[in-house]
Chains A and B, each alone.
Chain A
Amino acid sequence: MNAPANLPGMFDCRDAFAGAIEELAAADDRIVAVCNDSVGSSKLGKFRDRFPDRLVNVGIAEQNMVGVGAGLANGGKVPFVSGAACFLTARAMEQIKVDCAYSQANVKLCGISSGVAYGELGATHHSIEDIAWLRAIDKLTVIVPSDPWETAEAVKAAAAHDGPVFIRISRMPVPAIERPTGASFTIGKAETLREGSDVAIIVNGTLVYRALDAATALAAQGIAARVINMATVSPLDTGAIAAAAATGAIVTAEEGLARGGLGGAVAEYCAQHRPVPMRMLGFQGFAPTGSASWLMDHAGLNAAGIVAAAQELVAGKS
């Protein structure tokens, strides 16, 4: 079911997630994994084999899973609470708000197979609302990594961060993003992957490589597009947005709802501080039946969709 295509050069970020928490757990016995019968889908099989006492499987019970995570944090553990993003967020939202964020519990929430990765299983299993919901919760760090490297870095940064963090772990195949040597990941800091002054494309997660492809296509048309990876949605790097607004045009794109998520966050800032024409790409609502990759294309969440939005904004400048 929905096994990510093992295309050459494409990766399932769950592997990086699992590898990172195993590495952390080997060095720090406070690290525990908590899951909801999701050992397989969270790729925690090796973790269970290596650290059997530190895998807490609560069964199919997400509210209890998140509460237990907060309790483990109270007991001095650093719990990585992992489950399908759709269930972890929607079913346990009040536990995320109260037990984790409001209580400032040191819980790391890992929303696995986020966005529309579950494709044909339908909107019950899609998690396109999660970022809009979680962004509204005070004192909760929200991270949407773009590739295996960034996923592993985000997991490590979350472990080092004292406080609740949500990390969105994609299962849709993505390539490794090319970064300058010595690149580092910092919570709350946007990453400019390509410079450009005609339009800024602000993305995260599975849209990052699509945006880089779009920028290449735009360059061939004489449009210089800046590509900004806004991996941390909360807290937001407003300095990077202000600088992006100076280009006079911003396109946002995300594997989530077109309202309330990353685009919404950027728009809130710009409307108040740097009014600028924008296009916000994302899903308009519950998705129809279709594979994950088909749904992305259907919603225009691809290089062509980003190019079209950028062209329209640039044309509107004159």
Chain B
Amino acid sequence: MDHQALRSSDANAHTLEERAAHVRARANWMRQRLLKMIVDAGQGHPGGDLSASDIVACLYFDILRIDSTKPNAPDRDRFILSKGHCTGALYSALAGAGFFPEAELDTYLKPESRLNGHPNRVYLPGVETNTGPLGHGFPVGVGVAVAGQIDGAGYRVFVLTGDGELQEGSMWEAAMFAGHRKLGNLTVIVDRNRLQQGARTEETNALEPLADKWRAFGWDVVEIDGHDVIALLKAFDDAAQPRDKPRVLIANTFKGNGVSYMRDQAGWHHGVPNADQLAQAIAELEAEKSE
């Protein structure tokens, strides 16, 4: 398996379609790997992992300027998983990007593993801040972006939030301040799968009109299909982002995307497939590769 990202700096050497094909292959690998991790551990959050996999794959295998051998390099791009429960997506991406050995994924949730149910930067290289309780990663990301703004640094900050997470008040404190500070180095991606743990967001505490809310807070808003890798890569393109506004991608996704029986089903928020279901999921993902 080729773990080397096609860096955006190499963009000239690769067509957008070539980059997308690479990201899709990595996303497919992530989906298979994280499902096996979850089955092996007997727990996890496959629904949100799968809705976020294409987004996370775009970042780790194309967009982010990171070096796994220098996880604390001051000028690195930052990725913060504000929806901290989706460690299946994060850990598979970090392993795929070389931050730790792929074999360590087999320790997921096992006693004293570095791969806790929620990410821990103290143990694990590549994690920027500990998340888990919702509403934390975004304000931290805003702080990193402010530091970059003060220093005139070149790095970018990416924060992935859940959509249900936007019901937390701290998210809007952060959104307001980022708009006020005109943080052009900050990109938030809302994994808009429309499902929270127990039900649909719009039935629980409605988020719509979501794009208008972000615009009112001073953000550049892009609404895209969060499983369309070419659309994601274009939206992540630094040159496309206004310099005087933070950008939010409202990425319309499906929980459980890539596995037919999980897709758009609230029950797979933290459901665990049985052996037959895993085999079916892997078969479907293998079939997707040859499409």
| Residues of chain A having any CB pair with chain B under 8 Å | 32, 53-54, 56, 58-59, 61, 63-64, 66-77, 79, 94-95, 98-99, 102-105
Q: Mark B107-147, 1 if CB is under 8 A from A, else 0.
A: 00000000000001110000011111101101111111111
Among B74, B150, B176, the one with the most A-chain Cβ atoms within 10 Å of its Cβ is B150
- Confirm or deny: B48 has a beta carbon within 8 angstroms of a beta carbon on chain A: no
Tell me if B136 and A94 are in contact (CB < 8 A): yes
* Sample (12) of A-B pairs whose CB atoms are under 8 Å apart: A56-B146, A64-B170, A67-B174, A68-B143, A69-B143, A70-B129, A71-B142, A74-B129, A77-B147, A98-B132, A98-B133, A104-B122
Whole-angstrom distance between the Cβ of B287 and the nearest chain A Cβ: 41
Contact of B144 among A59, A61, A74, A104 (CB under 8 A): A74
Among A67, A69, A102, the one with the most B-chain Cβ atoms within 10 Å of its Cβ is A67
On chain B, the residues within 8 Å of A59 by CB distance are: 176-177, 180
Name the 5 nearest CB pairs between A and B, nearest first.
A71-B143, A75-B147, A67-B139, A64-B173, A68-B143
Whole-angstrom distance between the Cβ of A281 and the nearest chain B Cβ: 36
On chain A, the residues within 8 Å of B209 by CB distance are: none
Q: Mark B162-190, 1 if CB is under 8 A from A, else 0.
A: 00000001100110110010000000000
User: Whose C-beta in chain A lies nearest to the C-beta of B122?
Assistant: A104
Tell me if B150 and A71 are in contact (CB < 8 A): no
Whole-angstrom distance between the Cβ of A102 and the nearest chain B Cβ: 5
Q: Known: A63-B139, A64-B139, A94-B136. Is A71-B145 also a contact (CB below 8 A)?
A: yes
- Confirm or deny: B151 has a beta carbon within 8 angstroms of a beta carbon on chain A: yes
Q: Known: A53-B150, A63-B139, A63-B169. Is A74-B78 also a contact (CB below 8 A)?
A: yes
Tell me if B169 and A72 are in contact (CB < 8 A): no
- Confirm or deny: B148 has a beta carbon within 8 angstroms of a beta carbon on chain A: yes
Among B133, B136, B153, the one with the most A-chain Cβ atoms within 10 Å of its Cβ is B136
Cα–Cα distance between A79 and B143 once the two chains are bound (Å): 10
| Residues of chain B having any CB pair with chain A under 8 Å | 74, 78, 120-122, 128-133, 135-136, 138-148, 150-151, 153, 169-170, 173-174, 176-177, 180
Q: 14 other contacts beyond A53-B150, A71-B139, with CB at 8 A cut-off?
A: A54-B150, A61-B176, A64-B170, A67-B138, A68-B146, A71-B129, A74-B128, A75-B151, A75-B153, A76-B151, A99-B140, A102-B130, A103-B121, A103-B122
Tell me if A94 and B133 are in contact (CB < 8 A): yes
Whole-angstrom distance between the Cβ of A91 and the nearest chain B Cβ: 10
Whole-angstrom distance between the Cβ of B177 and the nearest chain A Cβ: 5
Tell me if B147 and A103 are in contact (CB < 8 A): no
Whole-angstrom distance between the Cβ of B47 and the nearest chain A Cβ: 23
Whole-angstrom distance between the Cβ of A75 and the nearest chain B Cβ: 2
Whole-angstrom distance between the Cβ of A94 and the nearest chain B Cβ: 6
On chain A, the residues within 8 Å of B145 by CB distance are: 71
Tell me if A74 and B136 are in contact (CB < 8 A): no
Tell me if B140 and A74 are in contact (CB < 8 A): yes
On chain B, the residues within 8 Å of A72 by CB distance are: 143-144, 146-147
Q: Known: A61-B177, A98-B133. Is A67-B140 also a contact (CB below 8 A)?
A: yes
Whole-angstrom distance between the Cβ of A83 and the nearest chain B Cβ: 13
User: Whose C-beta in chain B lies nearest to the C-beta of A34?
Assistant: B143
Tell me if B144 and A71 are in contact (CB < 8 A): yes
On chain A, the residues within 8 Å of B131 by CB distance are: 98
On chain B, the residues within 8 Å of A66 by CB distance are: 139
Whole-angstrom distance between the Cβ of A236 and the nearest chain B Cβ: 22
Whole-angstrom distance between the Cβ of A132 and the nearest chain B Cβ: 21
